[in-house]
Amino acid sequence: MHVSLYELDQTLLKAVLQEWGQPAFRAKQLYKQLYSQLASDPQQMTDLPQKLRDELSSRAAIGNLTCVREQTADDGLTRKVLWSLPGGAVVESVLMIYPPDRATVCVSTQAGCAMGCVFCATGKLGLLRNIETGEIIEQVIFFERYLRQHAAELSHRLDVPIPDHITNLVFMGMGEPFANYDRWWRAVERLNDQQGFNLGARHMTVSTVGLVQGIRRLADEGLQINLAVSLHAPNNALRSALMPVNDRFDIDDLLDAVRYYIERTNRRVSFEYVLLEGKNDTPELAAQLGALLKGMLCHVNLIPWNPVPGTPLERSHRERVLAFQQGVQAAGVPCTVRVERGVEIAAACGQLAAIPSPTSPIELHAR
């Protein structure tokens, strides 16, 4: 049985290599190859002896995901990948480039999702399975390789500066990260490790539907990961109609946990609010939301709803979005409208469901 290398931290790598009769320092070399050099084949690891490279080729795997399809949008600045996981489930992740200096990867932490939010395509799938730590990491490594290899070419074609590395991670893809907390957190630690991938914690954001135990746990962790909370309604009746999780953790419970996070970290929290025409976008609800959050170290991120097939909902018209924004701001709560990316390839917020967009450009990718 092959050892999955992305599942192992340095300590576990050292233990495996010592079982193979290798000195302990080889683990540090291998770790650097995986996370700094981004080696995809043991034979590329020329600082390792040939015998060890051959053993890694026969006994270990660098990644378990199969890239089934790549789709591009926004003139190449948004790139969505469909992955096949061991066992047959599929999952998606997205790279979004914002010239001149930002490249953000939206990472999935579960195949499907059990939370059942009515406006979200992923929620319609139900939970298929949790994604392993190494599978979370592999999504990130894939796009880091892509940027290193193609940033210069893309910059030349578009005549704008393009970063040659990932600058930000958002755990906002398929699934609820806090429902897969341990695997997700191990991936965060590995991606943050200065001896490895070395992405600062403040460049990572996790989004939750409001699992309060996860929020409180994150507040007590040693890394200052940014927190985004899917709110979508300012009162319990409406929020429960849109998000079944509210029946387990209502708004009072949720805001208590958020206040704890702010107290422990002194970091601003983002509240995500998808706007649905005639459902949660009225001036009265904007005023309620402003009153609910007034005085909190937070900001509201308004998200025009993105189409999900088979869902009898409509996105709020632009004038209603702007009116809602003004209503929240009137209470002194910072409020912005999210810039949309990747809608035409179903890569935008709430659209990830591992189902291709029928009109989108598709590139088949074999590894």
Residues with catalytic annotation?
92, 349
**Over 44-105, what HEC string results?**
HCCCCCHHHHHHHHHHEECCCCEEEEEEEEHHHCEEEEEEECCCCCEEEEEEEEECCCEEEE
Can you tell me the distance from the alpha carbon of 176 to that of 107, in angstroms, rounded to the nearest whole number? Answer: 11
Half-sphere exposure of 33 (CA within 13 A, CB side): 21
Can you tell me the distance from the alpha carbon of 263 to that of 185, in angstroms, rounded to the nearest whole number? Answer: 21
Beta-bridge partners for 69: 82, 364
Can you tell me the distance from the alpha carbon of 63 to that of 313, in angstroms, rounded to the nearest whole number? Answer: 39
**Stretch (H or E) spanning 208:** strand 204-208
Q: Which of 339, 283, 274 is nearest to 307 (CA)?
A: 274
**Stretch (H or E) spanning 322:** helix 318-329
Q: Provide the token pair at 53.
A: 């490279």
Contact 74, 139 (CB under 8 A): no
Other Cβ atoms closer than 10 A to 295: 9
